[in-house]
Structure formats: C-alpha cells, structure tokens
Structure 1
C-alpha cells in the first residue's frame, strides 16, 4: 500500500504536484513491436560495433546520466533474448546512494551535478569520436548536435523493413519531437500535466474541463480569491509555473533553426506580470507552516478532503488519476488551461534517446531502441512515465479498471485513453536554458528587478548560449 507523507514545513517549492508524483512511483532518475522473445538479432549482424569484450559478444553502448530500473530491466531482458549481445549502460555520474548499493530517485529532473557531468562527458566523447551508440539527450541541447550531423535521423529507421509499425504507436509524440523535418530523439515515456477541480468550489464558474484559457483562469479564480476563505490553488512556485507556460509554446521562445531566443518581447513581459499577479491576487499562496511541522500519513484511497479549487498533477502513471478521489470529495478532471483554449496539450519526456551518427552498430542500436518501445517494456511498472506504445497503454488502463484496490472508474478509464493522443506539443526546455530562465526571472518574482531589465538580461544570456 502506498503511503504519502505530507509535512507542513516542507521546503518552499515542494508543491502538491510533487506529492502526487510520489504516488506515480516514478523509478526513473530524471527529473520511459514484438516482445523480447521475438526481438530480431540485428545487434549481431550488419554494421559492427567498434566495442566488444573478450568473449566475443557484440556490445551496444548506451550513454546515460545515471542508470534507472527501467533501463536495467531492459538490459537484462534484451540480453536474455539475444545471446551474444551485451548492453553496456555507461553512466556519466554515479550518485553516492547508488555507490552504496541503492538506487536514486528524483521526483523531477536530475541532480544538477549529474547534468553537468553528463554534458561534459558526451561532448568529449563526441569530439573524440568514441561516443556511445545510443545517447540520453534529455539533458542536452540535442538540436545543436543534430545541426552538427552528430546524431542520426531516426526517421530513416521508422519503417516496416526495420521492424517499426506506425500503427503500434502514438505517432503524435514522435511528430512533436521532430526537428527540421527529422527525428533525432525518441521518448520511450512521456509526462504531462492534469488538473483536478473541486466541484464544490468551481461549480458556478462555468469552466469547460476539456478546453479553457489562462485568461479564464485569471478571471474566474481571481473572483473566487476575492471572496477570501480557503486557498484557490495547490501551491506551485512561480518558476515552475513559468517553466510550464514556456513549454506550452516552446517554439515561440526557443528557435533552434535560427539560433534565436524570444524573451525580449511585450508578450513575455506580460507573462511574467500575469504569473506574479496570481500570487499578488492570492490565487496561489504559499502554504502556511505549522509549529513542529508534524505530518500526516495518507494511504492511497483515503480522502484528504482538501478545500482548494484546483490541484495540479504531473501525471506519470494512469492510475494516478485516482489522486482526485484522494484530494476532493467531488473531483473533476481538467486539461490544463492554454493560451487559446486549444485542445492539444504539451508534454515532456521521461527520457530522450538519440543515436550516434558515427556509430558502427546502428542496426543493433536501433533494435534495442525498438525494444524499449515494445509492448513488453512499455508495460513495465518501472517505465517512469506514460507509454507511447498503444497496446501497452490500453492494457495498462484495462488492468487498472480491474484492480482489486482503487481501480480506475469507467469514466476515468475513458479519459485516460484520451490523454496521450491529445499531446501535440513537446514542452521540454533544455536544462541549461531552463536554469538561466529560473535564475533571471527569480529576481523579478522577488521584486529585485523590473520585468524589462530581466528580459534584456535573459534574452542576451540565452542567445549567447544558443550561438555557442
């Protein structure tokens, strides 16, 4: 049984969406075809890997920030199904906890030290010509590498001759990841936002749970906040809200094609002021601390009876949709608001994997990459995100409706089936740029610099980074 400990004296920035993520039991360290028994043996034929071992096994190398349970399981299963092939997971950074024999789990993102180490390691290996066959690139500005012809265009491998059947996957995910009409990274798992509305608080607001705007959010919830009383939104720090908003319209702010940033605009200044107004108008408030910080243990299925109008959830597993039943007596599932009320949502990747253009074992690397996308691996509990394989998603949802404890209701199951197909935009901000944005805009949210001064500095720093 899953236990959720809620402590009132948690650090600022630890939002309810973080607590919900614990329910999701993401086992990834970030920040996820035919089954293995039928996997082809491309790794033992065709192009040869430059690596190998003394036993003569073919080696497929995978460069990762830190390893995780999903990749370790994939390695074990793939090697068992493909005698003579070894998967080598090359970690750029080994956390101290892992050195001691345990796995490290982060709710969102990687340890910054791990990111810095991975970037340095991958850069050095690519320059020296000894990079891995597959490279984890969710912490890298992989568009830069694609421009330098260092990453393979995976579009060339996505055909039936290479074992890839488009009908098996949510191709909207792959399409959203394209860069300059090419596909240079694939996401085995995806994460998106979902909101839970408290029907008792919002029934008179006349909001469409399938299509609403940030303007409606500001207006309707602002009116609710003026009445005082219970909090309106579960606390989310301004930098997290800003990151989500940028991710919704990433192409507006980051144009890798032209190496241009788009932060020095009246629209972005308006966005900063809008987010600040959420806090000024008490739509979002920092949680009150209680003496001693005594927490309460909440079991899955036990009602928390919260009074907020909305709670934001980073959805990493379909059964986390039951979180609404925990927080509110009468919950309603909402898609996040958007700028124009469009029905397409944004997503981030639990992990992104790219293929080294100079790999001498591309066929083997592609075969392992396909295995990560297989129904067998996509249904693994340790996936660490929502599956991109249709059959895997459908079987997961079906199993959750028949669960003996806290099953998905038929209504939630139908909504779960609609979540991944509606993802239209990749909202993953390259970590270095995200760090720059957070550092610069924090000065505005703290009242130390004007929005105009912040965007000038932000624009210059991001532009310089993109032009490197």
Structure 2
C-alpha cells in the first residue's frame, strides 16, 4: 500500500491525528496529510483565517472543490451535505461497504452505518460514532405528579416530551420549577426539528413555513409568558432549590444520570414526530468523487472504523464498531462513576439499547439551521411578529435551496 492521502476537517481531532500516525506506521509508503481548518497549538486556537466560522470553512472548501483541489477524504460535519451530493462531490460508498465482508452486523452497528442510505440505496458518508440525543425527566417531579409515560415507549419526540414536561410542572407544589434550563428560543429550536421535514423538503426544494410554524412559535412564547421558563439571572444555582422538568442531553452522560437513583427517569432517545432517531453527523466521513486515491481512502476509512481506532482514549464518542463501542462505554463510565454507583454492564446495555433505535441520518443543513435560529430568535426578542418571521424564513430558505 502506498500513496499520499489528504483529509479535510473543520476542527482538529486528536483521534484522527493518532489514527493517521498509526496507519502510516503500518504502511511506511503511505503519507497522510490532515488539513484542519481550526486547530490548537499549545493553549491557543489557530485557524487558516482570522474568521473561525463554519461559513468561512465552507467557503474555503467550496473553492477547493471548484478548483479540483479538495482533499481525498472530507469530514462532513458543518456542511450542507445535500448540496454537495447533488453536484456529485461525494463518492457512493454503498458498493464498497457491500464488498467489505468484515463490516457486518456481528462486528458493527449496521443500523448506524446504513442510516445515511438514501431512497436510491446510496450512501455518501459514514458515521464514525454512534452519537445521538436523549430526553429525560426529573425523577422528583415524576413522583410528585404521579404521571407516567405510556408503556413500551423506547423513543420520544420533542413534542410529546414537552407535553409530558408541562404536566410535571403543572402537578407539583415545589417552588422554582420550570420546563427546562434553556430559554424559550432554544426550546423552539428543538420543537422545530420535530417537523423539519414538513417545513422543508430538501430533496424537492420545497418550503412550507406557514401556519404550523406560526402556531408553534406562539405556543412556545405563551409558555414563556406564563412562567414556564426561569427569567434570566433568577436562579442562584448554588444557594436555592430548583427543578427542570426535562432535559436534552448527549447519549453517554444521559445514560449515567438515568441509572443514578435520584436524578432522572424515563430517559430515551429523542426522535422526530415520525419516530426517526437520528445519528449525529458531526463525525462522518465521505470520499471526494474526484479523488485519485479512492482505494487508499477507503482503506483509511476502514481503519478509522476498526476496533483499534475506535478504542483510542481520544475517541470521545461511542463507536460504531461493537468492540470499540464496549471499550468506549467502559472508559467513559470511569470518568463519571467515581463512587461506582452504576455497574459497567447496565451502563453498556442501556447505551446499546438506545443505539439500536437509530434509523436515520441528520442531514439538516447548517445554513438552514442558522436561518431558523436567527429569525425565530428575533421573534422571541420582540423584534418581529411570528408572521414576519415565517415570511422571511420562507423567502430565505426557498432562495437558498434554489441557488
């Protein structure tokens, strides 16, 4: 095996650097160059320009693509993947996967690896980590209210979680009880994602930011006006008792707190309104369709998916490789479990149960997300009406999708 391979990433990733070094040690005739847009030097964060933003990274990458100088492997986080796929930037990896016998359900969480598969059966990026969001509820408030989640639920949409959390707030006598730590604007962002595919049809470039969006905005604003969120600066986190009915957390931390006796309960993966549980796209890789080193690129991606890499101490998420997953779960639990209140087996089993719920890949365009946050936040700040926010969003997203 020989040749030079280039990798593009917005942020420097220690595990990626170590993996490249290990791969080059195995194959001395291979040279891997990782081009990180933002990296660290000592205690300083440095980048290739003074503006460290996702937009400037995308602009730089777009220039490389247009001039035929883009890297062989591209980490796809922070990118509007659908636009890149539509113009043929990424190689279809489905055939390579099917021709790699060691990548199978005995060794890998295939539901995660195949989550990005589109309606035509093509896979343009592969998640390296099984990362996802989890919703959980305050155990004290659940006990106070006597309310129960319906039997057999293994995942929950944000809308259903919000309804249940409101019942918890309404059925307790405890003071300083609120829906969640975040503001109404942040809560709305989660709620919007429940219906993202109804609002924005990325594949067909259609947008429907209308009455449903306006109603959702007003509903969250009503909750804010009726005291379901703590006023800014009103909570003394060190000297007063307070409660948040529900929480959206990342997988490994949520699992630990759910298994403690007096913290959260009814923890389960967050789904959209249709029951889809999305794998986080931030650590996914694709192969540049114009790469002259596709075979070498695939060999390195296979190495990134291996137990050796996915068991590295710097590999900070749950692996898609099952042995790497076990090693990650054990290592991460040690960071939380100083008093050994949670067993390794129950922690690992809960995480595996949750990972098996993943059935979709989050291709939500970061540019569209920025539009939504900007216009919705103006509504919550009183700078524009819900109708104005809807009208502006409709125009912005429509123009962007059709550029």
**What TM-score results when the alignment is normalised by the length of structure 2?**
0.84
Question: Any idea what the Cα deviations from partners look like across 1:382-429, whole Å, max 9, x if unmatched?
Answer: 223222222222343456678983443344433211111101233353
Q: Residue in 2 aligned with 1:207?
A: 149
Q: Could you tell me how far 1:284 is from its partner in structure 2?
A: 3.0
Q: 1:125 to 1:233 in 2, by over 3 A?
A: same
Give the SS at the match of 1:176: coil
Q: Residue in 2 aligned with 1:419?
A: 354
Q: Could you tell me how far 1:314 is from its partner in structure 2?
A: 2.3
Q: 2 CA distance for matches of 1:399 and 1:384?
A: 10
Q: 1:402 to 1:192 in 2, by over 3 A?
A: closer
Q: Residue in 1 aligned with 2:74?
A: 135
Q: Could you tell me how far 1:155 is from its partner in structure 2?
A: 1.0
Q: Could you tell me how far 1:442 is from its partner in structure 2?
A: 1.0
Q: Could you tell me how far 1:450 is from its partner in structure 2?
A: 2.0
| 2:133 maps to which of 186, 189, 193 | 193
Q: 2 CA distance for matches of 1:205 and 1:354?
A: 45
Q: Residue in 2 aligned with 1:82?
A: 27
Q: 2 CA distance for matches of 1:332 and 1:196?
A: 6
Higher relative contact order (CA 8 A, sep 6+): 1
Q: 2 CA distance for matches of 1:89 and 1:332?
A: 42
Q: Residue in 1 aligned with 2:57?
A: 118
Q: Residue in 1 aligned with 2:202?
A: 256
Q: 1 CA distance for matches of 2:288 and 2:64?
A: 11
Q: 2 CA distance for matches of 1:341 and 1:228?
A: 34
| 1:101 maps to which of 42, 52, 65 | 42
Q: Could you tell me how far 1:288 is from its partner in structure 2?
A: 3.3
Q: 1 CA distance for matches of 2:149 and 2:377?
A: 31
Q: 1:218 to 1:357 in 2, by over 3 A?
A: closer
Give the SS at the match of 1:353: strand
Matches within 5 A, 1:62-77: 62-77=7-22
Q: Structure 2, unaligned stretches of length 5 or more?
A: none
Q: 2 CA distance for matches of 1:172 and 1:147?
A: 24
1:235 to 2:181 alignment: yes
1:358 to 2:303 alignment: no
Q: Residue in 2 aligned with 1:147?
A: 86
1:269 to 2:214 alignment: yes
Q: Residue in 2 aligned with 1:444?
A: 379
Q: Could you tell me how far 1:141 is from its partner in structure 2?
A: 1.3
Give the SS at the match of 1:444: helix
Question: Any idea what the Cα deviations from partners look like across 1:186-231, whole Å, max 9, x if unmatched?
Answer: 2212432223323221121122463556555454433443456232
Q: Residue in 2 aligned with 1:429?
A: 364
Question: Any idea what the Cα deviations from partners look like across 1:44-97, whole Å, max 9, x if unmatched?
Answer: 2xxxxxxxxxxxxx2110011131212111111111112111110112344xxx
Question: Any idea what the Cα deviations from partners look like across 1:137-165, whole Å, max 9, x if unmatched?
Answer: 22121211211122111112112447643
Q: 1 CA distance for matches of 2:327 and 2:45?
A: 28
Q: 2 CA distance for matches of 1:205 and 1:287?
A: 29
Q: 1:242 to 1:155 in 2, by over 3 A?
A: farther
Q: 2 CA distance for matches of 1:375 and 1:313?
A: 26
Q: 1 CA distance for matches of 2:147 and 2:274?
A: 16
Q: 2 CA distance for matches of 1:162 and 1:211?
A: 31
Q: 1 CA distance for matches of 2:164 and 2:253?
A: 30
Q: 1:112 to 1:241 in 2, by over 3 A?
A: farther
Q: 2 CA distance for matches of 1:360 and 1:341?
A: 41
Contact kept? 1:211, 1:341, Cα under 8 Å: no
Q: Could you tell me how far 1:250 is from its partner in structure 2?
A: 3.8
**What TM-score results when the alignment is normalised by the length of structure 1?**
0.73
Q: Residue in 1 aligned with 2:323?
A: 391
1:322 to 2:267 alignment: no
Q: 2 CA distance for matches of 1:309 and 1:214?
A: 13
Give the SS at the match of 1:60: strand
Q: Structure 1, unaligned stretches of length 5 or more?
A: 1-40, 45-57, 106-110, 297-303
Contact kept? 1:177, 1:185, Cα under 8 Å: yes
Contact kept? 2:317, 2:328, Cα under 8 Å: no
Question: Any idea what the Cα deviations from partners look like across 1:329-364, whole Å, max 9, x if unmatched?
Answer: 25324125656584x523322322211111000000
Q: 1:388 to 1:305 in 2, by over 3 A?
A: farther
